[in-house]
Amino acid sequence: MSHGQKERHIRNGSGEPVAAGVEKGKLQALMGGDFATATSELAVAKARNRAVRTFAELEIAEQAAVAEAFGSKPGASGLSGKHQTAVQKLQAAKGVEFDRMYINGQIDGHEELLTTTKPTPETATTLWHEERRWSQ
């Protein structure tokens, strides 16, 4: 940080400070990733359908790679109030209803991410390299 420049503290969904200098777009992506991770951890334990559990395992790995690419770690950004409510509803669901709610939540989360973030050549390259590293 250059002399005279103020350090920014962005707060996560729980109101706790997040690492200084995290851009708003990255924070939104990280918070969405924390939601995807939290719900996917539930799905690994509760999903009825094996394909849903496999998807959840892959989603957890993907979100860990994204957090690392952004210089963070899974869970560091926290959940918004909206996401906390969705997790509570998902915790209460069972069986086929759980599977449906989880998959619909993943679709909604990914669509929301597409509307709130615009990839840059730098982030696209970083994510591509991270994905390649995870796939080896």
Indicate if the alpha-carbon torsion angle 82, 93, 49, 43 is positive or negative: positive
**Is 123's pLDDT higher than 70?**
no
pLDDT in tens, 70-88: 888 888 888 889 999 999 9
Work out the pLDDT band at 8, boundaries 50, 70, 90: very low
50 or 69, which is more confident: 50
Number of C-beta neighbours around residue 31 at 10 A: 21
Mean pLDDT of 106-135: 74
Mean pLDDT of 9-22: 50
Amino acid at 87: V
What pLDDT score was predicted for residue 2? 37
Token output for 49: 């359908």
Mean pLDDT of 38-54: 97
Work out the pLDDT band at 16, boundaries 50, 70, 90: low
Number of C-beta neighbours around residue 28 at 10 A: 16
**Measured between alpha carbons, how far is 134 from 85 in angstroms, rounded to an integer?**
31
